[in-house]
Structure 1
């Protein structure tokens, strides 16, 4: 595989552990997953050598689970449990921690002022998004129906989620703890990093695998995609 010419989204779904490398080098493999590795590295001004070496080493390891070969209903069940349920647990606690940090450390120049409100907005948007998937799109995909309209709406909302993650990064200096941060602040940023990684992997699985109509023709294209 010519790694440099492959889209980030494809590499993330075909090389086990690639997402960890992309997180390390701050390469957007979900909303920016259509960029080739070479384009993404150039955009961030990064050398190709270290990233290529890390990915080539990972290629020797098999995927823990190749979701490209799994039926849609199995991937949907995984997404619901692994991501939808988890996001609903993550965000309320992160909002609570953020409000505490903003209250106690409001006089610190490093205080992430506005973070709690940002997380609350993300919770509302994400909850609306997940409900639309659970109530409308996922039941259709389980039946082998791939409606272009609803899928496009979800993909556009994924782009919005990416924008919200950028705002989160901006408020937290790239989710970097200041020196001497208290335990609450440390727990908050640890949770933020986990949320960001989970959300990016969530979007990746949907955009690159779940929303792609099977090539063997089992999927049924609804009238909206004609």
Structure 2
């Protein structure tokens, strides 16, 4: 099977660094990871050849990469990774981002480039993400750790749907912040806010990818189309 006929999720699982390539070309590998590279590139109106070339180069370097292959981890290791690397981190990131966003809006609210409504949007994201993570921690992950993943089809489908909502919220975040690009004369607080937003965005995308394309695929494979 060629690169073009594999899903974005399959390629992201198999080739370390592929997620960065997909992000560069704005291909949604997390919420729409079941689309083939051919389909995704066609829908975006971009030629797939440069993407394939970059993926080939990444695969050649993969043997020398020290990046952990989470696809080879046990269910227990993968759940622990998700909890420590993403759930705990998001709970630290969002309160500080909300605080910084409110500060920027209070001080620079008279400027056209000010991200008006950003703090409120992040507050909504924080509430929805917390609800989502609690469902995983209280329902889905315990099923998996009790080796009852075969019963997890419905919770996984719900989590995938909520991931699509998170993806929409990230797109709105980009709209509010000029794709998280601060004005040239932005103050230190403004720049710190956007640096934190970029880290949060990257972490949330990696979080969704790890769940959708690695953990969930073990118990309820998504249909490739």
TM-score by length of 1: 0.90
- 1:185 alignment partner, one of 187, 190, 207: 190
**Structure 1 position 143, deviation (Å):** 1.3
**Structure 1 position 214, deviation (Å):** 5.9
**Farther-moved stretch of structure 1 (47-56 vs 30-39):** 47-56
Q: 1:14 — aligned with what?
A: 14
Q: 1:103 — aligned with what?
A: 106
Q: 1:50 — aligned with what?
A: 50
SS for the counterpart of 1:28 is coil
- What are the ranges of 5 or more consecutive residues in structure 2 without an aligned counterpart? 221-225
Q: 2:2 — aligned with what?
A: 2
Deviations 1:26-85, CA, capped at 9 Å, x for gaps: 111100111211222222222323222221110112262222222101100000000000
Q: 2:206 — aligned with what?
A: 201
- Correspondence list, 1:118-129, <5 A: 118-129=121-132
How many residues were matched structurally?
215
Q: 1:137 — aligned with what?
A: 140
Deviations 1:127-160, CA, capped at 9 Å, x for gaps: 1111111111101101111221211111111111
Is the CA contact (8 Å cut-off) linking 2:7 and 2:33 kept in structure 1? Answer: yes
SS for the counterpart of 1:88 is helix
- Say whether residues 1:24 and 2:24 are aligned partners: yes
In 2 relative to 1, CA 213–9 (structure 1 residues): closer, same or farther, beyond 3 Å? closer
Q: 2:34 — aligned with what?
A: 34
Deviations 1:113-136, CA, capped at 9 Å, x for gaps: 000000000000001111111111
**Farther-moved stretch of structure 1 (120-129 vs 205-214):** 205-214
TM-score by length of 2: 0.90
Is the CA contact (8 Å cut-off) linking 2:153 and 2:219 kept in structure 1? Answer: no
Q: 1:218 — aligned with what?
A: none
RMSD value, Cα:
1.6
Q: 1:168 — aligned with what?
A: 173
- What are the ranges of 5 or more consecutive residues in structure 1 without an aligned counterpart? 216-226
Is the CA contact (8 Å cut-off) linking 1:31 and 1:158 kept in structure 2? Answer: yes
